[in-house]
Amino acid sequence: MQGAQFLNAKVLFVLAHPDLPHSRANKRLAKAAAGVAGVELLDLYARHPDLYIEGTEAREAISNAKALVVQHPIYWYAMPGLLKEWFDRTFRVGWAYGPGGTALQGKKFLASITTGSHEDAYVADGVHGAPVDDFLAPMRQTVNFCGMAWLPPLIFHHARNAADAQLEQHAGVLVDQLNALLEDET
Amino acid sequence: MQGAQFLNAKVLFVLAHPDLPHSRANKRLAKAAAGVAGVELLDLYARHPDLYIEGTEAREAISNAKALVVQHPIYWYAMPGLLKEWFDRTFRVGWAYGPGGTALQGKKFLASITTGSHEDAYVADGVHGAPVDDFLAPMRQTVNFCGMAWLPPLIFHHARNAADAQLEQHAGVLVDQLNALLEDET
């Protein structure tokens, strides 16, 4: 079966970047994540070039995993369109919520997000008007509603222009977090 | 040119519902809106069945219009995936923001949203944990960032099961709002 590797994921790492060849930070972070044994990388734009998502594959993978991680640039203060489509199609009634919908209960959830701005743009009187965390309310409540545990997000600001050393350091933080998820027995 | 009618829109009304035949409220509200002279309905899922959005058509239409309205059900505390994709593809640098990106400045923006729950589920100790308005932060900041004027959203709760009279009353409120936008000379 194509995609059988996802069934062995202890951590499913869903990457959503519409132009990965021109990505800097998301490409680097996804590569770092994919190098961790037990983490399986699901590159949404590569796996669904026609943008059509049915959801069964991801549901099976997540059911077998203990944690779900999403990696994406912030676009218009939210996730890219295809990742939202993925949530809409994958987290369906009777699986994620509602009668019999217990598949996600107790699993851990981590958002790893990049931004194009310096952190000081994400303040009340900055150009973006609020911290990134405020804009994550829809994703956080989705996670809570489905009974998953929301972990503090990893935010990498100024992703395109940050120093190489900063990006490498952040990739290390992500790998540490993934290892912690893999070792977590709670 | 296919789509030329959009160029005459004074108000562009963007509808995003992935299964309109089975919709109740969004179908009714879109029909009401489409009946208002000067309002042009852009049914995203009908117009982009392959989910591919380039954005030029909508940019031209919005440039000629004085207001943009979006109509959608709330999915996972946010807009449906295809509408997010539409924002990502349409509101691009050099048009919506950044150097030369002034196309949206001063236009009015209205979100018309349906939910599946009663309003009392959208409170701090309700199952959704916060008012709908809190979850609209990404859309509101997108609108603000692009220099548009954010109008108080129209929210129709419990859309599938509300009484017919309530839906008709709400359709009337929407039509009144659209007429006010059309008559607005500011």
Domain of A54, CATH number, reads 3.40.50.360
Say yes or no for a CB contact (<8 Å) between A81 and B85: yes
Say if B186 falls within a structural domain.
Answer: no
Which tokens is A113 given? 């997000």
Residues from B contacting A (CB-CB < 8 Å) are 18, 50-52, 75-89, 91, 127-130, 134-135, 137-139, 141-142, 144-145
Which pLDDT belongs to residue B9? 85
Residues in chain A with CB shorter than 8 Å from the CB of B85 are 51, 80-82, 84-85
The boundaries of the domain holding residue A141 are 4-183
The 10s digit of each residue's pLDDT in A127-179 is 999 999 999 999 999 999 999 999 999 999 999 999 999 999 999 999 999 99
Global confidence as pTM:
0.95
Mutation to test the B interface, candidates A141, A143, A146, most B Cβ within 10 Å: A141
State residue B8's pLDDT score. 81
Q: Which of B19, B75, B93, B133 to mutate to test the interface with A (most CBs of A within 10 A)?
A: B75
Facing B77 at nearest CB: one of A130, A134, A138: A138
The reported pLDDT for the residue numbered B1 is: 38
**Chain A residues touching chain B at CB-CB below 8 Å:** 18, 50-52, 75-89, 91, 127-130, 134-135, 137-139, 141-142, 144-145
Residue B3 binned pLDDT confidence (cut-offs 50, 70, 90):
low
Contact list, A72 vs chain B (CB under 8 Å)? none
Chain B nearest CA to A82, separation (Å): 6
Per-residue model confidence (pLDDT) at position A52: 83
Question: Which residues on neighbouring strands pair with residue A150, listed in sequence order?
Answer: A109
Encode pLDDT of A105-125 as tens digits. Answer: 999 999 999 999 999 999 999
Q: What is the DSSP string of A89-111?
A: HHS-BTTTBSTT--TTTT-EEEE
Q: Of A29, A15, A23, whose CA–CA distance to A166 is shortest?
A: A29
Task: Provide the shortest C-alpha distance from residue B89 to chain A (in Å).
Answer: 9
pLDDT the model gives residue A171: 98
Statement: residue A2 has pLDDT above 80: no
Contact B141 A135 (CB under 8 A): yes
Q: Given a cut of 80, is residue B62 above it in pLDDT? A: yes
Average model confidence (pLDDT) across chain B: 95
Question: What are the pLDDT digits (tens) for A63-102?
Answer: 999 999 999 999 999 999 999 999 999 999 999 999 999 9
Q: How far apart are CA B30 and CA B113, in angstroms?
A: 11
B89: which chain A residues are within 8 Å (Cβ-Cβ)? 81
Q: Indicate yes or no: CB of A77 within 8 angstroms of CB of B141.
A: yes
**Which residues fall within 8 angstroms of residue A68, CB to CB, at 6 or more apart?**
A11, A12, A14, A62, A104, A107, A108, A109, A110, A148
The verdict on residue B44 lying in a domain is yes
pLDDT higher than threshold 80 for residue A3 = no
Q: What is the pLDDT of residue B50?
A: 82
Q: Is the pLDDT of residue A185 over 90?
A: no
**Candidates A72, A84, A123, A140, partner chain B, best to mutate (most B CBs within 10 A):** A84
ipTM: 0.94
Q: Which tens digits make up the pLDDT trace of A6-27? A: 888 899 999 999 999 999 999 9
Q: How far apart are CA B162 and CA B157, in angstroms?
A: 8
Question: How far is residue B181's CA from residue A10's CA, in Å, rounded to a whole number?
Answer: 52
Residue A1: per-residue pLDDT? 38
Residues B70 and B84: beta-carbon distance below 8 Å: no
What's the one-letter identity of residue A84?
Answer: K
In this predicted model, what pLDDT tens digit does every residue of B85-139 receive, in sequence order? 999 999 999 999 999 999 999 999 999 999 999 999 999 999 999 999 999 999 9
Q: Work out how many domains chain B is built from and give that number.
A: 1
User: Nearest C-alpha of chain A: how many angstroms from B48?
Assistant: 12
Q: Is the pLDDT of residue B43 over 60?
A: yes
- Summarize pLDDT for B140-173 with one digit per residue, the tens: 999 999 999 999 999 999 999 999 999 999 999 9
Whether the predicted pLDDT of A56 surpasses 50: yes
